[in-house]
Amino acid sequence: MDTLLLSRIQFGANISFHILFPTITIALGWVLLFFKLRFNATGDEKWMQAYRFWVKVFALSFAMGVVSGITMSFQFGTNWPGFMEAVGNIAGPLLAYEILTAFFLEAVFLGIMLFGFSKVPNWLHTTATFLVAFGTTMSAFWILVLNSWMHTPAGFEMRDGVAFATDWWAIIFNPSMPYRLTHMLLASGLTVAFLILGLSAFRWLVGDRGSDVRATFKTAAWLGALLIPVQIYMGDLHGLNTLEYQPQKVAAMEGNWETKSNVPLVLFALPDEESRENHHEVSIPNLASIILTHKADGVVPGLNDFVSEDGTVLHPPVAPVFWSFRVMVGTGITMLLLSWSALWFMRRGRGPGGVPKLMQVALVPMAFSGWIATLAGWYTTEIGRQPWLVQGVLTTEQAVADVPAPMVGTTLAAYLMIYALLLAAYVGVLFYLARKAARVGLSQQIQAASALRGVKAVPAE
């Protein structure tokens, strides 16, 4: 593998690891605010217990996101110097806005949020929680502005190979920004919904029947059930926007080789770029045209339109885009079925106890389903932009550093080993926290039951 491919894999590995944690903190900050507001309104201790548990998860995720984000940002200079040389006049200010308006806000108030339960007035602690949640969302806003501009660049002009801003409003609110930002915020909400649902199901399975577990399970089930239909709708709008500005990506997602009408929706196939066809295709007639154009005879672009006369391929690698898109959609459908089923089983007010044990067991690994869907969607959109780094402006080949391939390969191997260890440790800590909370909950339940029988309770751990 050459330097270009290894650099792409390395950056992909870094951003794949990094994105896992902001995907949690973006929405979890707002969920924590919900828990705190419910406590303020009702005085019910279960909401404060939920807050205390999940703020630990937030802190851990925030720390992991900050560290991995710094590592990732270094690669703009080490692996992709051509990126900043060509579009630094636009990318630099946007990244600076993210630090000034978001990162500092999070850093200032995070300490109050984590350690100010009994040290500051309640209103100040609630305000700090709001400001941290707002900061995570602002961080996502500026990063998605830059990313969407790379897909649909606007508001600039090129002078001697360098991009200069001519309209910052057009840069910020470029054609794909609203769809990408909304899609990502909803993805974060679903990631957190199923993380809470999965860990709450785990605590229930190990015997914790605390009121906070019931509250978090029910809240997460409702959050997932409400957000997934909205995400499907926004996904459709995002797809239509992509069809307009990046038709080659849509062609790869659909595995469609020839521009034509009445295009079927391919459920399964093995795309073959050498023969320019799909093998073992299973499809539904006309459905791709209906989804993309809302007409059965709608015309869908084909991949063969994006090959130059000299044979240069101008569309992305087909198989990775084709399959990552299906993983994303399949995970989303699974989320829809499980969240709606959980609510249906809880309809009699029995809470998690009304959900069949088999479904509770299935919900535990689904705690990380949001990660799978987010990564699959990220791969779809980013690999789908190839061979461009900035669509129509700068290719990845033009931006890559002149670094020996063995050096990139060595650092890539080191990154992968460290990230694997950190990811295993992170997941392990989450379940450790859940087991610890379950033990405390069980002890409190025994204490309460003993008190009702008039027996001296065993002190809680």
What is the per-residue pLDDT across 230-243, written as a single tens digit (0 to 9) for each? 999 999 999 999 99
User: Which tens digits make up the pLDDT trace of 185-209?
Assistant: 999 999 999 999 999 999 999 888 8
User: Which tens digits make up the pLDDT trace of 290-343?
Assistant: 999 888 888 999 999 988 877 788 889 999 999 999 999 999 999 999 999 999
User: Which tens digits make up the pLDDT trace of 56-80?
Assistant: 999 999 999 988 888 888 888 888 9
Instruction: Name residues whose C-beta falls within 8 Å of residue 10's C-beta, 6 or more positions apart in sequence.
Output: 75, 79, 408, 411, 412, 415
* Packing angle of the helix pair 122-151, 81-98 (nearest 10 deg): 150
Please tell me the predicted confidence (pLDDT) of residue 368. Answer: 95
Who wins on pLDDT, 252 or 445?
252
Please tell me the predicted confidence (pLDDT) of residue 441. Answer: 59
Which residues are paired to 405 by β-bridges? none
Instruction: Name residues whose C-beta falls within 8 Å of residue 355's C-beta, 6 or more positions apart in sequence.
Output: 201, 342, 345, 346, 363
CA distances in angstroms from 369 to 37, 67, 190, 324, 334, listed in the order given? 28, 23, 9, 14, 9
Please tell me the predicted confidence (pLDDT) of residue 23. Answer: 95
As a whole number, mean pLDDT of residues 259-276 equals 90
- Whose tokens are 């050498």? That residue is 274
* Alpha helices (H) in 152-176, listed in sequence order: 168-172
User: Which tens digits make up the pLDDT trace of 372-401?
Assistant: 999 999 999 999 998 999 998 999 999 998
Q: What are phi and psi of 316, to 5 degrees?
A: -70, 165
pTM: predicted TM-score of the whole model, two decimal places: 0.92
How does residue 353 score in pLDDT terms, banded at 50, 70 and 90? confident
As a whole number, mean pLDDT of residues 5-9 equals 92
pLDDT at residue 440 is higher than 80: no
Please tell me the predicted confidence (pLDDT) of residue 77. Answer: 81
CA gap 298, 130 in Å, rounded: 46
- pLDDT over 70, % of the chain: 95
CA gap 75, 77 in Å, rounded: 5
pLDDT at residue 449 is higher than 60: no
CA gap 262, 281 in Å, rounded: 16
Report which of 137, 376, 27, 29 is spatially closest to residue 235, judged by C-alpha positions.
Answer: 376
- What mean pLDDT, rounded, does the chain reach? 90
Rounded (to 5) percent helix, strand, coil in the chain: 75, 5, 20
CA gap 33, 129 in Å, rounded: 6
Element (H, E) at 164: strand 162-165
